[in-house]
Structure 1
Amino acid sequence: MIWLRRLALWSALAGCLAGCAVALLTVLSIVGRALWSRPIPGDVELSQFGIALCIALCLPWCQLQRANIIVDFFTQKAPPRVNRVLDAVGSLLLAVMVGLLAWRSAVGAQAVREAGEITMILALPMWLSYATLSPGLALTAVIALVQAAGRMEAR
């Protein structure tokens, strides 16, 4: 499990770097627009790519820390065993969902690559944005599976 924790940490750090790069890009573009009437061309395209990457790379750490939103209004007074089973089922469902998203992102990247789609302003290949989502989503799926198995073993 230590290797999974390290992977999630490095993934989150890379995601934070992507987020910081988007913030810097946005500031520079706004300053350029305000002072010289010259924003950074394609700033919106780059921001969309960067934020999608940031989110996908930070998801594994979020799942590892169990920092997702949990609505426990109905289960607050349930026995610990019931909560463990519900947590395991929730982790399993999340693993299936993000696993499917990782798979479809990879398939989508291949389809967009074959179609030769590019962005409007910078003419960047669109498949890159799809392809960068898959690793973070796949790592989230693995972490959620490990957590589901751990919760079921704790029974």
Structure 2
Amino acid sequence: MIQIFLDRTARLFALAGGSILLLIVAMSIVSIVGRKLFSLPIPGDMELLKVGAAVAIAGFLPVCELQGYHLRAESFTSAAPRLIRRVLDAIAHLLCLFAAIVIAWRTGLQTMDNFEYGDQTTLLAIPLWIPLALIVPSFLLLALCSLNRFSHILMNSGEDT
């Protein structure tokens, strides 16, 4: 049941991230065409690109972890015994869990600071706490997905992950 919840939620985050990226691409095309043909780019297009890409990329991380699509250096471990590979995978998921928790925690603190001090982007004056607040749930979900992968390795010691 937890696996189904994590899978559906991670896919939802990834779909949201993909939708944001599609919007960014469309905006970039309109801005480039407007700049080249009419000397009318979209004001703040680079700010929107940076903010949107950060939120989108964070949304992809949980599904990558849950499905095991993160970058791996298997060429170094492919000849190792299965037990060694499983131990290394478990350590990698624990490190991902730790990193996700730290990043979520620190990003949450940064969100509160930016809200308190009113930090905003230069051209469009987008409050920076908004994209930061959208990133935090992705890292919390990443932590849960890492914990799930780690527990899967522990519970299924006789199977490949």
Q: TM-score over 0.5 for the alignment?
A: yes
Residue 85 of structure 1 contacts residue 152 of structure 1 at CA under 8 Å; is this kept in 2?
no
Runs of 4+ residues deviating >3 angstroms: none
Letter in 2 for 1:23: V
Per-residue displacement from partner, 1:58-104 (whole Å, max 9, x unpaired)? 11111111111111233212111111111111001001101111111
Q: Give unpaired runs (5+ residues) of structure 2.
A: none
How far apart in 2 are the matches of 1:60 and 1:146?
Answer: 11
Root-mean-square deviation over aligned CA pairs: 1.0
Q: Which whole-Å CA distance do the structure 1 matches of 2:120 and 2:65 have between them?
A: 33
- Partner residue in 1 for 2:53: 51
SS in structure 2 opposite 1:74?
Answer: helix
Distance 1:13 1:73 in 2: 31
Q: Please report the TM-score for the alignment, with normalisation by the length of structure 2.
A: 0.93
Q: Is the Cα–Cα contact under 8 Å of residues 8 and 60 in structure 1 kept in the other structure?
A: yes
Counterpart of 1:154? 156
| Alignment of 1:136 onto 2:131 | no
TM-score, structure 1 normalization: 0.96
- 1:29 Cα deviation after fit: 0.5
Unaligned 5+ segments in structure 1 are none
Describe the superposition over 1:9-56 as per-residue Cα deviations: whole angstroms up to 9, x where unpaired: 111000000100110110010011011101000101100011001100
User: In 2, distance between residues paired with 1:31 and 1:77?
Assistant: 51
Cα separation, 1, equivalents of 2:80 and 2:24: 43
Q: 1:4: how far off?
A: 0.6
Which residue number corresponds to residue 110 of structure 1?
Answer: 112
Task: Specify the code of the residue in structure 2 equivalent to 1:47.
Answer: L
Matched, 1:21 2:20: no
